[in-house]
């Protein structure tokens, strides 16, 4: 590991797509800051695994992205770790139904914080460091930012804001920093209160032209492409959805 190896901060990286992305970037030479909120055991296990492959190349940091002071502290601690920042991957995202008539202010704040508020304030806090390295920001959007998902009005509104934030930051931070988004389709089925039954999963896959779910590696590979192979792409939202957005 050299002192000029690039550094990436990934939010929500202890599990699922975030963890796969952290491993993918690490395998490509990045040092990774693995953010987590409650999945401490998973985050520290992933950090240990990566450091065993390459010493001093991964660290796990905790933060509640609904708290602005936590967001700012996360940015500060991530930057202090190796003294540079080359990529911010805004992967953390709350997702669950909030039907009209049942939604609460707490749900509004949670969904807006993880999907919109935290990505903005992390970008703001790390903008100067990213400009120094001519780095990049990638936000996790959603195909439902344009095509609303029934019973999810707050989530869809947050993701619509996320898409516009991505495009706005691409203008605000140019020419030094590129900013793009990825809109996943059926990659991993949601968990807990957003979990789908078999009929719900089949209904979604019926609308996917490739007729199969994607894999977290599809998202990780797209992120790596945007970071390392796309120097003239900024302000774009790339759908990785098996064609669902055009069906």
Read off the pLDDT of residues 61-89 as tens digits, 9 standing for 90 and up: 999 999 999 999 999 999 999 999 999 99
Residue 116, pLDDT score: 97
Sign of CA dihedral 221, 246, 205, 149: positive
Average pLDDT over residues 217-242: 95
| Helix H or strand E segment including 121 | helix 118-133
What per-residue confidence (pLDDT) applies to 197? 59
Q: Is residue 247 within 8 Å of 207, Cβ to Cβ?
A: yes
Residue 152, CA distances (Å) to 62, 102, 111 in order: 28, 11, 10
Instruction: Return the higher-pLDDT residue of 3 and 27.
Output: 27
Q: What are 165-210's pLDDT values in tens digits?
A: 999 999 999 999 999 999 987 766 554 454 555 655 566 666 777 7
Instruction: Please identify which of the residues 30, 96, 155, 232 carries the catalytic annotation.
Output: 155
Closest CA to 27 of 3, 64, 58, 66: 58
- CA dist list (Å): 26 to 22, 23, 35, 61, 155: 6, 5, 15, 16, 30
What is the C-alpha end-to-end distance of the chain, expressed in Å? 45
Q: How many CA atoms lie within 13 A of 105 on its CB side?
A: 0
Number of neighbouring beta carbons within 10 Å of residue 60: 23
Fold held by 7-240: Rossmann fold (3.40.50)
pLDDT of res. 243: 77
- 155 an active-site residue? yes
Instruction: Say what the pTM is.
Output: 0.92
Can you give the pLDDT at residue 194? 47
How far is residue 16's CA from residue 14's CA, in Å, rounded to a whole number?
7
pLDDT in tens, 85-108: 999 999 999 999 999 999 999 999
Asked whether residue 244 carries a pLDDT value surpassing 80, the answer given is no
């Amino acid at each position: 590991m050299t002192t000029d190896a690039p550094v990436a901060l990934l939010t929500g990286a202890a599990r699922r797509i975030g963890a796969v992305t952290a491993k993918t970037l690490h395998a490509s030479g990045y040092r990774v800051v693995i953010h987590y909120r409650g999945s401490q055991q998973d985050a520290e296990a992933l950090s240990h695994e990566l450091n065993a492959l390459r010493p001093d190349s991964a660290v796990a940091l905790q933060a509640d992205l609904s708290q602005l002071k936590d967001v700012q502290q996360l940015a500060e601690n991530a930057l202090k770790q190796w003294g540079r920042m080359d990529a911010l991957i805004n992967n953390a995202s709350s997702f669950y139904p909030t039907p009209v008539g049942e939604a609460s202010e707490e749900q509004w704040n949670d969904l807006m914080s993880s999907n919109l508020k935290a990505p903005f304030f992390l970008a703001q806090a790390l903008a100067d460091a990213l400009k120094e390295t001519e780095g990049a920001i990638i936000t996790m959007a959603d195909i439902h930012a344009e095509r609303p998902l029934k019973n999810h009005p707050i989530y869809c509104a947050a993701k619509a804001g996320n898409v516009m934030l991505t495009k706005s930051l691409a203008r605000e931070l140019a020419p030094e920093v590129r900013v793009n988004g990825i809109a996943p389709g059926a990659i991993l089925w949601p968990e807990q209160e957003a979990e789908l039954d078999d009929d719900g999963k089949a209904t979604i896959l019926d609308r996917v032209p490739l007729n199969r779910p994607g894999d977290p590696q599809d998202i990780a590979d797209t992120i790596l492409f945007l970071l390392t192979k796309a120097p003239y792409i900024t302000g774009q939202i790339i759908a990785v959805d098996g064609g669902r957005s055009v069906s």
